[in-house]
Amino acid sequence: MRLALGLAYRGQHYHGWQSQPDGRTVQDAVEGALARFAAQPLRTMCAGRTDTGVHALCQVVHFDTDLVREPFSWVRGTNRYLPDDIAIQWCRPVPGDFHARNSALGRRYAYVLLESPVRPALESGLAGWSFRPLAGDAMRDAAALLVGTHDFSAFRAAECQAASPVKTLRRVAIERRGAYWRFEFEADAFLHHMVRNLLGCLVAVGAGSRPVAWIGEVLDGRDRRAAAPTFSAAGLYFIGPYYDARWQLPEAPVQLDWLP
């Protein structure tokens, strides 16, 4: 039997999603809790690996097991063994050809950024920070140059293992709510650090350090050294993947009303 799970977690206390020898990752915590509930080791495959400090609203994983339990039992039973900052939201049985990563039609991220003369305190680890005022129209004009199918090598981490740097960025939305900016990115897939590298460039434009046209030049140049530094992971949220309706899986909420 193949099962799919939807997970939410805060990432600031973990070394990313993917299992590591030190055991301080979200995958290690989830698989440890599953093993305690199921009394057998279970290996998971996720929709999108998140980095150290990155949060998730609906990370989707799948795993195979012969253990027969009701979906609500997997949720409640596994959550019993998870720390407070990780929780399974739902469980669904899926056909054997479902794959959390390969079946995804696209993925969405959000970034929450505080614009303030002083650094965040209550939002530490949950929001990025700009001490300089940002111009929304300039950032939106720059973002429009990024939408479409492009070679995103200029926004790719050196350690990225993706087979191709060509991705389709379907949507970038930028809005301000009080002292906070919220950026949303949707693509067929993302390169390692791609969202944080895009954000660094958008903030540079918004702060007036670079003109709008510069971001198009960086994109066309395909040289990571020409782009802005990688932005902090603190405010980055993996909203989650989305799938064909035939899999009958819940989607993460598009409106993150609990966030600024």
Residues classed as catalytic = 51
In whole angstroms, what is the distance from residue 118 CA to residue 194 CA?
Answer: 27
Of 167, 210, 170, nearest in space to 190 by CA = 167
In whole angstroms, what is the distance from residue 87 CA to residue 6 CA?
Answer: 9
What would you measure as the largest C-alpha separation in the chain, in angstroms?
58
Residue 112 sits at φ, ψ, to 5 deg, of -105, 125
Q: Which two tokens stand for residue 228?
A: 């802005």
Query: What dihedral angle (degrees, nearest 10) is formed by the CA atoms of 228, 230, 234, 238?
Result: 110
Q: How far apart are the first and last CA of the chain?
A: 40
Q: Are strands 55-64 and 2-9 parallel, antiparallel or unpaired?
A: antiparallel
Residue type (1 letter), 71: P
